[in-house]
Amino acid sequence: MFFRKKKKGVKAQDEVWISKVEKYQGLYNHLKHTLQEDESLLLINQFENTEQEVKQILAKLEVGHQDLQATTIDLDAVNIFLATPEQMLMIAKSGPLTPQLRSRGGFRIIIVEHHPSYEQEQILLEHLQELFPTLTAKVLTSLDEPFMQTFGSERITKIMGQLGLKENESLEHTMISKSIARAQQKIDKSVSQNISAGSQQEWMDRSGL
């Protein structure tokens, strides 16, 4: 089990799609908006395979990006930045990058998927809150992702159906966020250790879920 002092969790804003295909189309639209408005966007990938999928979308847009794990980082060269939770921890410890990122106009944060573990995701959100206290991260998810298929998707699917949402439309609601958090907390009760995995599916498989 994860033994951390229980406290009020850091909240993120959920954007839920019916399918992963539509979720990535939504991400594509977020990226286009960022470029058109000359804003800045930090994309955080929980797993390595997600990072590769995001890079494919960036290649499709033919837009450059900066990986925050790079030895040399030029924040003025691009508008799109990629990072992992581990890299955000290193940034929190090192310090110099934070004010530079904060100073960029229209700066936003998108976490490309949920981590199945509530505790693991809270560690990331706590670092983000410390680094960017005025910003709320947005988390993209879809009902056909492994985590959602195992926990929580049936109720959300019903809600989306009742609202008459089309497949290419997303849903954002505090009730949805609470439902996802409860599903993550349920997983934490059955997982006894931190698990290393390259994808959400692999994490679920290794945890025996």
How many independent structural domains does the chain possess? Answer: 1
Predicted confidence band of residue 1 (pLDDT cuts 50, 70, 90): very low
Q: Is residue 6 part of a domain?
A: no
H helix runs in the chain, sequence order: 20-36, 48-61, 85-94, 97-102, 118-131, 146-150, 153-162, 174-188, 200-206
Q: Is residue 5 part of a domain?
A: no
Contact residues for 2 (Cβ-Cβ < 8 A; gap 6+):
117, 119, 120, 188, 191
pLDDT (tens digit per residue) in 17-41: 989 999 999 999 999 999 898 888 9
- What's the pLDDT score for residue 75? 67
Which residues span the domain enclosing 40? 13-206
pTM here is 0.88
- What's the pLDDT score for residue 3? 40
pLDDT (tens digit per residue) in 159-198: 777 777 788 889 888 888 888 998 899 999 988 778 899 9
| CATH at residue 43 | 3.40.50.300
